[in-house]
Structure 1
Amino acid sequence: MVAKIKIGKSIGGILHYNENKVIEGVAKLILASGFAGEVENMDFEHKLKRFEHLTTLKPSIKTNALHISLNFHSSENIDDTKMQDIAIAYMESIGFGDQPFLVYRHNDAAHPHIHIATTSIQRNGEPIKTHNIGRLVSEPARKKIEKDFDLVIAENKMFSPEPSIKPIDQSIITYGRLPTKKSINNVLSTVIGSYKYTSLAELNAVLKQFNVVADRGGEETEMYKKKGLIYSIIDEHGKKIGIPIKSSSFYSKPTLQNLEKRYEKNSELRKPLKHDLLKRINKVLESYQSITKNTLIIELKKVGVNLILRTNEQGRIYGTTFVDHINKTVFNGSDLGKLYSANILSQLISTNDTIKTYLVPLNRQNGYLKSNTDQQFKARLFPIQTTTISIGDIFGKPEIDYNPMPNKRKKRKRGLTR
């Protein structure tokens, strides 16, 4: 089981997200703890007022809404009753057992999962502390629940990483506005606030995997000049289908101005997650003496990474982007280091679609890369087979010599000096 907690300022936004899923038929409310009346008879206002009654007791605390998701392995067949028991056990373990909370079961992903909406403001008006709640409270609770309910352990190799949402099914999209808007909103609601991107191109790298694209229009258009933005559904060839929807018409307001506010913040948030991504990429590369482009893409998917290669009409690679679905980060290859840039990958991919990999590991400390300096990078590239491209052609004259054999120290003769 994987538990994720988002803490925000709008309990209404959390309810809208889940209630819209219910309306669209991809979710259902399975538990309402701390609410009076039957679940089936509760409308949106009833649910919202229950939470607002508490949040108004401490108006100085603005960040008081929690949106929790519990994600299970795709092989697990968990009925609603067991889901309810898991949700109750988890909420009690993290100190929210006495809080009102709603549990929605979603079926819009390849794996079973539930979403929980609640607030941190208690009946006495005091907030429940949420600082480091994920690491200090949620993680121990998760591990205990895995054992108590005999769930697949998150650290287990069987627990393969999967994106939390499915691509839009193009067969159900019509050219009517409403179905298109709902389908796009499902993707935006998950991606916009979850993934750490620093440009519109990086955001599109994620959105396109779910058959959605954000578009500013051509530079000569009024929409571009006025910083407008529209969202469209795309088919498997990247062609737009259905009616494009203005960004301002969505409830979450994913406008260009609002996205740009996230760029700088996301740039800092993704920094600590860079080494983990590099570690998984390098593990794949170091497992092969040579690997085809398609195999590389498949193997990276197994560790939760989507590799996007942008090519021109001649087939030349001019851009690489890595989407990490585990840590919800997006990096251009050049931001990760020279080895992962389009320039290097395009030269290491030969005409027979084989990427030459080199097996000398970088210096590591506690399993992580210490740094990615030019010298360490060059030291790593020791060819294991003949290629049509020489390393000298790529890097120029080597600045350091690399000896794959360990140096033997000369033994000093011991004796008295005269």
Structure 2
Amino acid sequence: MVAKINIGSSLFGALSYNQEKVDAGEAKVLCSNKVLLPTDKSLTLAFCMRSFENHLPKDIKTEKHVVHISLNPHPDDNLSDEQLSAIAQEYLDKMGYGNQPFVVYKHEDIDRHHIHIVSLRVDENGKKINDKFEYRRSKEITRELEQKYGLHPADKQSRCKTPQLPKVDYKNGNIKKQIANLTKELAGSYRFQSIGEYKTLLSLYNIGLEEVKGEFEGKPHHGIVYFALDKKGRKKGLPVKASLIGKQVGAENLKKRCGYNAQNIKKNKLTEATRTIIDSAMAISKTRGQFTQQLQKHGIDLVFRENQGGRIYGVTFIDHNQHTALNGSRYGKAFSANALNEKFGQDTTKNTPGENSEIRDNEKEPANGIFSFIDFTGQGENYEEEAFIRKMKRKRKRK
């Protein structure tokens, strides 16, 4: 079982994320403490907010007073709602949150059913709950729970070659809902330090991302648009603005998330285990294919970016065990795009400008204008997108 701990200052954000799942029929409330539940457990966001706020002191000195935890059993662990509730309660007791107000949700939107817990990091007097060695203690507690309930150990779960999340399939329709579910899940559970790295992570699930930069009505604008991709990476269906999904997947929040992730990765030394695996895989691999296969055995996906001449100018390692999506250079110069190109790439002519800038992911800055994110060159059929652009331009003219 894997536990992921996120701390923040937005109680509304943590509760609304779970309530949206409940309202969509993709989650349900299992249990709570100091938060009154209706007899049918049909908890509303407003009612839940009031219940939590009643336990918050007026003057909160702790800036990040909200904790949002997800407990993820192995996909082969078949647990009843009663067992999941008991596991959540025991985990919170051992972590020091047992007497705090909390709500436990069971998420059923993906095959890997898991639970989310929202609680407070300060008591009614404003004193912060002890968080020393929080991640280390969490890992020890999950191991104890695995043994007690006969669950699959986390190390066995980490051997899964692919994550248990469904890819977007535009043929199934309701693209907006598919994209919304995945972008929220991935943005909240994976750690990345740039929007480019987040974009690479999304590409594994047939989701494209483009930034919208420019001016609109005299004011600077920075937005994000998502869209479905087919197996060849071509856009399909209408683009979906981040604002239609939620603030957590918008440009401003993602930028904040990148900063928080950078501190979290450094604090918990999350690159060390991955670096060791990458180093070992490189040492025994003679070809790019062998290198990729060796990494997949350890639950790590590798994404290369090449120019037309076949030269590698970018590489991202996506570790599904550590839940990180980081460019190779973040693990050291030996794992950068240039180093991998020398070992696995083809002989090419001179690089085109900017191809060695791996941290920027070689993403071209979009042209000024609110509609600059649309580029139909080589993207296949995009009739729906063309109609969407015409409609938006007409609205802009009317304004």
TM-score normalised by structure 2 residue count? 0.74
Relative to structure 1, is the Cα distance of residues 15 and 169 closer, same or farther in structure 2, using a 3 angstrom cutoff? farther
By how many angstroms is 1:52 displaced?
1.5
Partner of 2:225: 230
Relative to structure 1, is the Cα distance of residues 221 and 2 closer, same or farther in structure 2, using a 3 angstrom cutoff? same
- Confirm or deny that 1:210 pairs with 2:205: yes
Q: Distance in 1 between matches of 2:280 and 2:143?
A: 26
* Alignment partner of 2:272 out of 272, 275, 295: 275
Greater relative CO, 1 or 2 (CA 8 Å, sep 6+): 2
Q: Distance in 2 between matches of 1:117 and 1:193?
A: 14
By how many angstroms is 1:38 displaced?
1.8
By how many angstroms is 1:279 displaced?
0.3
Relative to structure 1, is the Cα distance of residues 59 and 266 closer, same or farther in structure 2, using a 3 angstrom cutoff? closer
1:288-317, Cα deviation, whole Å (9 max, x unpaired): 3x4543343233123232100112344443
| Helix, strand or coil at the partner of 2:64 | coil
- Confirm or deny that 1:298 pairs with 2:293: yes
- Name structure 1 gaps, 5 residues minimum: 352-418
Q: Distance in 1 between matches of 2:239 and 2:273?
A: 37
* Alignment partner of 2:187 out of 184, 192, 195: 192
Partner of 1:43: 44
Partner of 1:362: none
- Confirm or deny that 1:341 pairs with 2:342: no
**Kept after mapping to 2: 8 A contact 1:33/1:100:** yes
* Residue correspondence of structure 1 range 86-235 to structure 2 within 5 A: 86-136=87-137, 138-156=138-156, 160=160, 163=163, 165-174=165-174, 180=176, 182-216=177-211, 226-235=221-230
By how many angstroms is 1:3 displaced?
1.5
Q: Aligned letter for 2:338?
A: N
Q: Distance in 2 between matches of 1:158 and 1:267?
A: 22
Question: Over the residues paired in the alignment, what is the CA RMSD in angstroms?
Answer: 3.2
Relative to structure 1, is the Cα distance of residues 312 and 85 closer, same or farther in structure 2, using a 3 angstrom cutoff? same
Q: Distance in 1 between matches of 2:342 and 2:12?
A: 51
Q: Aligned letter for 1:304?
A: G
Computing the radius of gyration over CA atoms, which structure comes out larger, 1 or 2? 1
* Residue correspondence of structure 1 range 311-326 to structure 2 within 5 A: 311-326=306-321
Q: Percent identity?
A: 32
| Helix, strand or coil at the partner of 2:52 | helix
Q: Distance in 1 between matches of 2:263 and 2:30?
A: 37
Partner of 2:21: 21
Relative to structure 1, is the Cα distance of residues 345 and 165 closer, same or farther in structure 2, using a 3 angstrom cutoff? same
**Kept after mapping to 2: 8 A contact 1:76/1:112:** no
**Kept after mapping to 1: 8 A contact 2:22/2:28:** yes
| Helix, strand or coil at the partner of 2:168 | coil
1:118-138, Cα deviation, whole Å (9 max, x unpaired): 1233345544233432224x2
Q: Distance in 2 between matches of 1:344 and 1:162?
A: 26
Q: Distance in 1 between matches of 2:111 and 2:342?
A: 37
Aligned residue pairs, count: 343
By how many angstroms is 1:227 displaced?
3.1
Partner of 1:407: none
Relative to structure 1, is the Cα distance of residues 22 and 210 closer, same or farther in structure 2, using a 3 angstrom cutoff? farther
Relative to structure 1, is the Cα distance of residues 187 and 33 closer, same or farther in structure 2, using a 3 angstrom cutoff? same
User: 16-25 or 68-77: which moved more?
Assistant: 16-25
**Kept after mapping to 1: 8 A contact 2:184/2:248:** no
1:268-302, Cα deviation, whole Å (9 max, x unpaired): 5434333222101123234x3x4543343233123
By how many angstroms is 1:67 displaced?
0.8
Relative to structure 1, is the Cα distance of residues 262 and 148 closer, same or farther in structure 2, using a 3 angstrom cutoff? closer
Q: Aligned letter for 2:129?
A: I
Q: Distance in 2 between matches of 1:337 and 1:50?
A: 48
Relative to structure 1, is the Cα distance of residues 244 and 139 closer, same or farther in structure 2, using a 3 angstrom cutoff? same
By how many angstroms is 1:41 displaced?
3.4
| Helix, strand or coil at the partner of 2:276 | helix
1:370-414, Cα deviation, whole Å (9 max, x unpaired): xxxxxxxxxxxxxxxxxxxxxxxxxxxxxxxxxxxxxxxxxxxxx
Q: Distance in 2 between matches of 1:10 and 1:302?
A: 38
Q: Distance in 2 between matches of 1:70 and 1:265?
A: 21
Relative to structure 1, is the Cα distance of residues 216 and 222 closer, same or farther in structure 2, using a 3 angstrom cutoff? farther
User: 220-229 or 77-86: which moved more?
Assistant: 220-229
Q: Distance in 1 between matches of 2:303 and 2:182?
A: 19
- Confirm or deny that 1:285 pairs with 2:282: yes
Relative to structure 1, is the Cα distance of residues 81 and 320 closer, same or farther in structure 2, using a 3 angstrom cutoff? same
User: 316-325 or 268-277: which moved more?
Assistant: 268-277
**Kept after mapping to 2: 8 A contact 1:2/1:71:** yes
Partner of 1:33: 33
| Helix, strand or coil at the partner of 1:227 | strand
Q: Distance in 1 between matches of 2:222 and 2:53?
A: 35
Partner of 1:7: 7
Relative to structure 1, is the Cα distance of residues 200 and 5 closer, same or farther in structure 2, using a 3 angstrom cutoff? closer
Q: Distance in 2 between matches of 1:266 and 1:90?
A: 24
Q: Distance in 1 between matches of 2:195 and 2:202?
A: 10
By how many angstroms is 1:114 displaced?
1.0
| Helix, strand or coil at the partner of 2:19 | helix
Partner of 2:353: none
- Confirm or deny that 1:68 pairs with 2:69: yes
User: 10-19 or 342-351: which moved more?
Assistant: 342-351
TM-score normalised by structure 1 residue count? 0.71
User: 20-29 or 263-272: which moved more?
Assistant: 263-272
